[in-house]
């Protein structure tokens, strides 16, 4: 591995970094042991507390929570992606009467917390919490999808559009048949990475009382007793992180594969690639 900051280490530098590694492991390991001991003092590792996972109903509730989380994420993604495509086309329209208002709406949507949109839909339209969660996710993520695809179109060589116009395609035909397919392919890793954000944001449903995984944990802790909160929370959080990590890996894999295959490679644009809320 070569880094900007230092040369490939020689024998002496390797020895020093080995010693550094050992010290690092001792310090970090020590901190972890301290944390575990603090938890142990509170009786967290009492087997009785973890016996709660022998109750089948606990797993049923956790499974329901995961189901609700994935359902909201899937419905939102399926609506948000085509919507983002349409919004992107409006945003780059040649007509300023279309382009400018779209831009204003996009800036508005991107600047607002997702949970506020969820609350707005929930209270103003008196919908179910599922609809509120999905609507909040769709509003925010279609704006982000639109910006990602726009970045993809703008990263294409100018000649692509010029060639399309030159053979007599209309502006819209050129966008649809020449630019969009290339842009989406280039931006696939960013789009999948945004899916991770969307998936993570479903947990905001907790705040508008949607019965997702975290809400299931809360319900269980209320029912079983607060001493079971930590074990149940621990397992639920681990499941959540495992799902998100899997989708993240998919994005990284697509990026590697794409950079080998797609002409010109994939572009990576940090469009607020961070979770919203």
Partner 1 sequence: MDVIIENLPQYWDGFLRTLFLSLVSGIIALVVGTVLAAARVSPVAALRGFSMVYVEIVRNTPLTIAFFFAAVVLPRVGITFQQFEVAAIIALSAYTSAFIAEAVRSGVNSVPVGQAEAARSIGMKFSQVLSLIVLPQALRTVIPPLINILIALVKNSSVAGAFYVLELFGYGKQLANANGDAVVWVLVGVAFFYLLITVPLGFLANFVERKVAIAR
200 binding partner 1? (CB under 8 A): yes
The structure tokens listed for 239 are 């499941």
Q: Kindly state the smallest distance separating residue 23's Cβ from partner 1, in Å.
A: 8
Which is nearer to partner 1, 167 or 242 (by Cβ)?
242
Query: Of these, 102, 129, 142, 203, which contacts partner 1 (CB under 8 A)?
Result: 203
Q: Kindly state the smallest distance separating residue 236's Cβ from partner 1, in Å.
A: 8
130 binding partner 1? (CB under 8 A): no
55 binding partner 1? (CB under 8 A): no
Which is nearer to partner 1, 174 or 240 (by Cβ)?
240
Q: Annotate 183-246 with DSSP letters as a single string.
A: HHHHHHHHHHHHHHHHHHHGGGGGTTT--SHHHHHHHHHHHH-GGGHHHHHHHHHHHHHHHHHH
Query: Of these, 71, 90, 207, 219, which contacts partner 1 (CB under 8 A)?
Result: 207
| Cα 270 from Cα 268, distance rounded (Å) | 7
Which is nearer to partner 1, 76 or 115 (by Cβ)?
115
Q: Kindly state the smallest distance separating residue 210's Cβ from partner 1, in Å.
A: 11
Phi, psi of 9, deg, nearest 5: -70, 145
157 binding partner 1? (CB under 8 A): no
Query: Of these, 77, 85, 196, 254, which contacts partner 1 (CB under 8 A)?
Result: 196
Stretch of 49-57, 75-83, 93-101, 206-214 contacting partner 1, by CB under 8 A: 206-214
Show the binding pattern over residues 83-122: x = contacts partner 1 (CB under 8 A), - = does not.
Answer: ------------------------xx-xxxxxxx--xx--
| Cα 158 from Cα 38, distance rounded (Å) | 60
235 binding partner 1? (CB under 8 A): no
| Cα 191 from Cα 199, distance rounded (Å) | 12
Tokens 């179109």 label which residue? Answer: 153
Angle between the 229-261 and 180-201 helix axes, to the nearest 10 degrees?
A: 170
123 binding partner 1? (CB under 8 A): yes
**Cβ atoms 212, 72 nearer than 8 A:** yes
Stretch of 73-81, 94-102, 178-186, 229-237 contacting partner 1, by CB under 8 A: 229-237
Nearest to 212 by CA among 79, 77, 64: 64
The structure tokens listed for 122 are 């929930």
142 binding partner 1? (CB under 8 A): no
The structure tokens listed for 178 are 């020449």
| Cα 184 from Cα 156, distance rounded (Å) | 11
> Binding-site residue total for partner 1 (CB under 8 A)?
64
Length of the chain: 277
| Cα 205 from Cα 64, distance rounded (Å) | 14
Q: Kindly state the smallest distance separating residue 73's Cβ from partner 1, in Å.
A: 11
- Coil, strand or helix: which one is 80? helix
C-alpha 88, offset from chain centre:
20
Site of interaction with partner 1 (CB under 8 A)? 2-7, 9, 13, 17, 20-25, 28, 38-39, 41-42, 44, 107-108, 110-116, 119-120, 123-124, 196, 200-204, 206-207, 214, 217-218, 226-227, 229-230, 233, 237, 240-241, 244-245, 248, 270-277
């Amino acid at each position: 591995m070569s880094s900007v900051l230092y040369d490939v280490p020689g024998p002496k530098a390797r020895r020093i970094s080995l010693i550094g590694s050992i010290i690092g492991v001792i310090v970090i390991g020590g901190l972890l042991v301290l944390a575990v001991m603090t938890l142990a003092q509170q009786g967290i590792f009492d087997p009785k507390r973890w016996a709660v996972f022998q109750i089948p109903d606990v797993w049923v509730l956790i499974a329901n929570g995961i189901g609700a989380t994935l359902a909201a994420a899937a419905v939102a993604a399926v609506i948000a992606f085509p919507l983002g495509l349409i919004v992107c086309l409006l945003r780059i329209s040649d007509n300023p009467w279309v382009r400018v208002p779209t831009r204003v709406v996009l800036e508005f949507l991107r600047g607002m917390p997702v949970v506020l949109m969820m609350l707005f839909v929930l209270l103003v339209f008196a919908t179910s919490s599922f609809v509120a969660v999905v609507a909040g996710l769709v509003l925010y993520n279609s704006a982000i999808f639109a910006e990602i695809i726009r970045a993809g179109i703008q990263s294409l060589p100018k000649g692509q559009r010029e060639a399309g116009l030159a053979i007599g395609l209309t502006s819209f035909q050129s966008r649809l048949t020449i630019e969009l397919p290339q842009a989406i392919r280039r931006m696939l890793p960013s789009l999948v990475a945004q899916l991770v954000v969307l998936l993570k944001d479903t947990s905001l449903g907790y705040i508008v009382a949607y019965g997702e995984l975290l809400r299931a944990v809360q319900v269980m802790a209320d029912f079983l007793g607060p001493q079971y909160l930590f074990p149940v929370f621990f397992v639920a959080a681990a499941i959540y992180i495992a799902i998100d990590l899997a989708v993240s890996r998919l994005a990284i894999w697509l990026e590697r594969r794409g950079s080998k295959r797609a002409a010109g490679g994939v572009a990576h644009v940090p469009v607020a690639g961070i979770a919203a809320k």
